Structures are given as C-alpha cells and as structure tokens.
C-alpha cells in the first residue's frame, strides 16, 4: 500500500467484479481499520502488496430533514450515584433518522480534546453529539452531598468501574431527545479514545444486557463502537475478555459494528491496536468475505490517541469516522426504525 495516498485502500478477493465487492462492503457489519487488517487480507485472499482497489469513497447517504442544526450548549447532568457531569451537547438535525453519538475522551483528558471531531460531525453531517467530562476529569469533579472534589489520582477499581454510570447518563439524556423525535436512539454510536475504549466496550455490553420492562425496550441500542488508538487496559481493567462476546465476535445476527484506527508509527498505538484488531478478526474474518478497509494516517506521525484527532492535520481520520457511520448506520437506517421509548 502506498502510505502517502489519502484514499481508502481496499483489499479484494481474487479478481471479482468491483461492483460486487463494493456492494459486499456496504453490507459488512463491521470494519477494522489497521495495518494488521491489511496483512491479514493479503494472506487470506492471496493478494500481493500492490493489489488494491483505490479511491473508494463511501458517499454521504444521510437523508436528514432540512431543519437547521442547533447551537452547541454546555449542560450539567447528574448520574445515579450523584456525580455532576459537565458536558457539551451538539444538537443535530431534529429528525427521527439523526444518529446520536457519545464521544469519550482519554484517561486524564477532558471534553475539549474531542471538540474538533464533534464540530466536524455536527456541522458536516448533522449528527447529534454529546461529549462529557468523565468523572474526575475536567469540570466533572463534584458529587452531590460531598464536600471534597473527586481526585482522579485516588480512583480505585470500583470508582473506575463506576465511570460507566457517566456513559449511561449521557444515553439517558439522548433518550429524552429521542422521545421528542429529535434523533434515533436505535442508531447509538460510542466513540472512545485511548484507555477509555475499555469503558466503551464494557458499557456497550451493559447496554445490551437490559431486557424490556412493561413492553418498553430498555437497551440494545449501541450499534457501533469506534476506537481511536485504543489500549487494552485501563488500570487493572481489560477489554480483551469482553471482545470475546458474541456481539463483538459477530456470532449473532446483528453484531455491533466495530472501528479501530491508530497511527502505525507510534509503537504503543501499533502494539495495542494490533492486539485488539487480531482478537476481533479471529471470528469476524470467517463470517464475512474477508474484506477489510484500511486506514492509517497517510503520512508518518508519532501522534497517538488524543493527538490523532485533536490535531487539524488529521482531518482524514474525521472523514473515516463519518464514512463508517454512513456505511454502517445511515445507509441501513430502515433496519433501525425510530421508536418512542417513553415509559407508558
């Protein structure tokens, strides 16, 4: 692959018709962007280092209402355990086909690190975005009824696990918008950076564990998990066992779509990203036709995690994220119809 090319590179099984390959790609429930995916595709499909179909652009198929998007606003949300979260909400097109996205900053980061990506997805694609300062980070250090602010350096395992409450609270806020007809919670996407990918994977499984109550659907809303420079562990919590879940291996009718991207020039990112991608590929490559899209920055960079999406040089990563959402969610919105989820 020519690493200087800004185009998506696509590995191809044998010499089949290009249109068939593109059609298969658009139906693929998951896509893993990584250098490992390139090598795996080459080995499985017998392609050589230069046999790629270039310049595949997933067109923007989003069909939003003509209504204007709202202005970003800073809001406060209180979790079920009393933590006051400061968040930024980007109201998308008020439509029952609008994709809601939760963006999670890295460990020891804050919501401002996600602003460039949030603004891109909001302005260019009219998605609804919510970006929290996770507990102990940024401006989310207050607990109702507790005088002392949260100190991230003192977090123990239980407190780290409880960070999934923050994601749940963000979903609850988005659910309120869903019930007003302003978005479709059935297409919920979670994008996490670095170590926080561990929590994104865990919470997504939590979401799928909720069963209906009184005939009202409670969970099973996360349809895509996206990871930028993910790491396998957050302190002593690991995502690897969770990746063996059928929702991530693909051994269910409708698995969660998965996106993984990193800069191969960063040793930590390459090591961690390759390990995660290999775990996902173990079964997913057997379920589909062995097709992988590939994305690394088109030029050498040592940047990792937050640096990869906060730096304006890497707008191509933003486009990859948007194209992935278009191909896996927007293009298949008819399979995820809006529902009023208000309690009866």
- How confident is the model over 82-116, as pLDDT tens digits? 999 999 999 999 999 999 999 999 999 999 999 99
Chain length of the chain: 344
Gap between the Cα atoms of 174 and 129, Å rounded: 9
Q: For residues 98 and 58, which has the higher predicted lDDT (pLDDT)?
A: 98
DSSP string, 93-139: --STTPPEEEEEPPTT--GGGGHHHHHHHHHHH--EEEEE--TTSTT
**Residue 315, both tokens:** 């707008």
Mean pLDDT estimate for the chain: 79
List, as own/partner pairs, every contact residues 148-157 make where C-beta atoms lie below 8 angstroms and the sequence separation is at least 24, other chains included.
150/83, 152/108, 155/235, 157/235, 157/236, 157/237
pLDDT at site 6: 29
DSSP state of 71: P
Please determine, for residue 57, whether its predicted confidence score (pLDDT) is greater than 50: no
Whole-Å CA distances, 79 to 20, 48, 162, 169: 47, 52, 10, 6
Helices and strands: H and E segment counts in the chain: 10, 13
What confidence tier does 47 reach under pLDDT thresholds 50, 70, 90? Answer: very low
Please determine, for residue 274, whether its predicted confidence score (pLDDT) is greater than 60: yes
- How confident is the model over 278-337, as pLDDT tens digits? 888 877 766 553 323 445 565 677 788 898 888 777 777 898 899 989 988 999 999 999
pTM: 0.81
Please determine, for residue 4, whether its predicted confidence score (pLDDT) is greater than 50: no
Grouping H, G, I as helix, E, B as strand and the rest as coil, residue 163 is coil
Is residue 315 a contact partner of residue 281, using CB atoms and an 8 Å limit? Answer: no
Gap between the Cα atoms of 190 and 240, Å rounded: 18
pLDDT at site 49: 24
Residues 6+ apart with CB under 8 A from 128: 89, 90, 91, 92, 98, 99, 100, 101, 122, 174, 177, 182, 183
Mean pLDDT of 180-196: 97
Gap between the Cα atoms of 63 and 323, Å rounded: 14
Is residue 167 a contact partner of residue 159, using CB atoms and an 8 Å limit? Answer: no
| Domain-wise residue ranges, the chain | 9-335
Instruction: List the CATH code of the domain at 9-335.
Output: 3.40.50.1820
pLDDT at site 164: 97
Q: For residues 205 and 294, which has the higher predicted lDDT (pLDDT)?
A: 205
- Integer-rounded Cα Rg, in Å, for the chain is 19
pLDDT at site 343: 78
pLDDT at site 291: 29
302: exposed, middle or buried (Cβ count in 10 Å: 0-12, 13-18, 19+): exposed
**Which backbone phi and psi does 252 adopt, to 5 degrees?**
-140, 170
pLDDT at site 207: 97
pLDDT at site 296: 58
**Residue 219, both tokens:** 């969970």
């Amino acid at each position: 692959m020519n690493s200087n090319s800004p185009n998506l590179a696509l590995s191809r099984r044998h010499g089949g018709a290009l249109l068939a390959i593109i059609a298969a790609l658009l139906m693929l429930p998951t896509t893993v962007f990584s250098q490992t995916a390139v090598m795996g595709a080459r080995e499985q499909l017998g392609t050589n280092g230069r046999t790629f179909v270039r310049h595949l652009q997933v067109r923007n198929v989003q069909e939003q209402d003509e209504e204007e998007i709202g202005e970003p606003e800073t809001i406060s949300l209180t979790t079920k355990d009393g933590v006051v979260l400061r968040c930024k909400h980007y109201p998308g097109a008020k439509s029952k086909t609008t994709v809601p996205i939760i963006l999670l900053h890295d460990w020891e980061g804050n919501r401002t690190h996600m602003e460039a990506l949030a603004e891109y997805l909001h302005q260019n694609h009219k998605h609804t975005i919510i970006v929290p300062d996770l507990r102990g980070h940024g401006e989310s250090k207050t607990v109702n009824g507790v005088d002392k602010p949260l100190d991230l350096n003192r977090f123990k395992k239980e407190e780290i696990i409880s960070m999934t409450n923050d994601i749940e609270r963000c979903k609850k806020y988005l659910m309120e918008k869903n019930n007003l007809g302003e978005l479709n919670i059935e297409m919920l996407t979670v994008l996490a950076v670095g170590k926080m990918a561990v929590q994104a994977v865990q919470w997504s499984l939590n979401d799928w564990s909720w069963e209906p109550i009184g005939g009202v659907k409670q969970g099973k809303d996360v349809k895509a998990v996206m990871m930028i420079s993910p790491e396998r562990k957050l302190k002593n919590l690991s995502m690897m066992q969770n990746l063996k879940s059928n929702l991530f291996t693909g051994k269910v009718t409708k698995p969660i779509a998965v996106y993984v991207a990193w800069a191969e020039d960063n040793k930590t990112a390459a090591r961690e990203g390759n390990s995660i991608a290999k775990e996902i590929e173990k079964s997913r490559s057997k379920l589909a036709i062995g097709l992988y899209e590939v994305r690394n920055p088109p030029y050498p960079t040592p940047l990792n995690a937050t640096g990869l999406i906060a730096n304006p040089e890497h707008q191509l990563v933003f486009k990859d994220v948007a194209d992935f959402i278009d191909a896996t969610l927007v293009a298949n919105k008819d399979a995820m119809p809006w529902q009023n989820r208000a309690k009866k």
